[in-house]
Amino acid sequence: MPVNMNAPVSTAAGYKAPDLKETPQPETSQAEKAAETTSLPKKDTFSPDLDKINRMKTENLNNIAAFKRMVYSLLKEQGVKFSEAFGEQIEIDESTRLAAQQAISEDGEWGVEAVSNRLLEFAKALAGDDPSKIEELRDAVKAGFGAAAKVWGGEMPGITQQTYARTMELFDEWAAEYA
């Protein structure tokens, strides 16, 4: 399916963000069950920060769209159709190589620290002020990385492994705030 690289982010690749305000809540969540076996205090109400979640989702979609435009532009310059590019070796010009290298560098938008911090901030926004959600959200992040590992054939690239390790450290620090 061709992707309109100039489309607004909310519709890029057919993506439409769900309206979190209308998401039905289960009667007994996994977090409530987990709270029964944990010493973390449980709040009576659960209030995820929907404004922050939506801002973070929009920011992330914008970052992904910018990255896709960079890749699309690179392939277009070489006369390669996007659908034909995978599985082939592609030459990358120096400016694109440097841009990609900067993006995954220590202070880059897709570097270990930046991605780990975004993952934790998103989890915190979902948890609201309820520390009993920490382990449920940690498990969700673990599951996401596990799914990514399967896509990569079982072992993720080094930067992804580093991001996973740093993200788990941040979850540990977050949980320690309530210990």
Tens digits of residue pLDDT in 26-35: 444 454 544 4
In 3D, which of 109, 171, 173, 106 has the Cα closest to residue 145? 171
Whole-angstrom CA distances from 102 to 5, 111, 112 are: 22, 8, 12
Q: Express each pLDDT in 120-160 by its tens digit.
A: 999 999 998 789 999 999 999 999 999 989 888 888 889 99
72 contacts 80 by C-beta, under 8 angstroms? no
Q: What is the pLDDT of residue 31?
A: 47
Rounded CA-CA distance 12/5 in Å is: 7
Question: Residue 29: what are its φ and ψ, rounded to 5°?
Answer: -85, 165
The pLDDT-based confidence of 4 (bands split at 50, 70, 90) is very low
Domain boundaries of the chain, sorted by first residue: 47-176
Rounded to two decimals, the pTM is 0.58
- Residue 9 pLDDT exceeds 80: no
